[in-house]
Amino acid sequence: MSESRPVPVPDELSAPYWAAAARHELAIARCSRCGSLVIPPGQACPQCGSTDPQYAYKTMSGQGIVRSWTVIRQSFLPGFDVPFLLVDVELAEQPELRIIGRLLDGPDAPVRIGAPVTVAFERVADDVSVPAFTLAVDTA
Ligand SMILES: [Zn+2]
């Protein structure tokens, strides 16, 4: 039996993100001033500098490409079987819109920079799921 994993605790700004994840949708905050998607949403928009960005969450396609990855061999959190791959994914919706997640294809998955991935979700508790990724069929 592995220990149960820590569960994310949403704050006011991230609550819609976690609510969407629980429905297995990837929703990203969008600045209503300049229209930029922002990860993670802070008090000020990193693109236009507005301190009143009035974020609205937008559902993403879940498509992206791998920009880098790392093999995690030693778990610093309970409930993760090691080794596993952690991928840094650029989402299709906006250049440099990056999100990090586990790759669910196993530690020996044929990952490479530029590989297309699709978002998937790992259920970690009742009503709590965290975004992760799987390799998409490479049509290139
Ligand atoms: Zn902005």
Centroid of ligand 1 to alpha carbon of 43 (angstroms): 11
Q: In this structure, which amino acid lies at residue 22?
A: A
Ligand 1 ion: Cβ-proximal residues, 5 Å cutoff:
31, 33-34, 36, 45, 47-48, 50
Token pair belonging to 114: 């530029």
The C-alpha R_g of the chain, in whole angstroms, comes to: 16
Query: Does one domain contain both 94 and 26?
Result: no
Q: Which residue has the higher pLDDT, 40 or 8?
A: 40
- Residue 3 is predicted with a pLDDT of 64
- Residue 20 is predicted with a pLDDT of 97
Instruction: Report, as an integer, the average pLDDT of 28-36.
Output: 97
Query: Does one domain contain both 23 and 53?
Result: yes
Q: Which residue has the higher pLDDT, 20 or 124?
A: 20
Centroid of ligand 1 to alpha carbon of 46 (angstroms): 7
The CA-based dihedral angle spanning residues 10, 11, 15, 17, taken in that order and rounded to the nearest 10 degrees? -70
Centroid of ligand 1 to alpha carbon of 39 (angstroms): 12
Is residue 19 helix, strand or coil? helix
Query: Does one domain contain both 83 and 129?
Result: yes
DSSP string covering 38-72: ESS--SS-TTT--S----EEEE---EEEEEEEEEE
In 3D space, the residue among 69, 55, 67 whose CA is nearest the CA of residue 106 turns out to be 69
Instruction: Report, as an integer, the average pLDDT of 3-16.
Output: 83
Q: Which of 10-14, 53-57, 113-117 has the lowest mean pLDDT?
A: 10-14
- Residue 4 is predicted with a pLDDT of 72
HSE-up of residue 123 (Cα within 13 Å, Cβ side): 6
Centroid of ligand 1 to alpha carbon of 31 (angstroms): 5
Centroid of ligand 1 to alpha carbon of 40 (angstroms): 13
Contact residues for 25 (Cβ-Cβ < 8 A; gap 6+): 59, 60
Domain of residue 55 covers 11-59
Say if residues 125 and 103 touch (Cβ distance below 8 Å): no
Residue 104 lies in a domain: yes
Q: What is the pLDDT of residues 75-112, one digit of tens each?
A: 777 777 899 999 999 999 999 999 999 999 999 999 99
Query: Does one domain contain both 136 and 84?
Result: yes
Residue 5 lies in a domain: no
Instruction: Report, as an integer, the average pLDDT of 1-8.
Output: 68
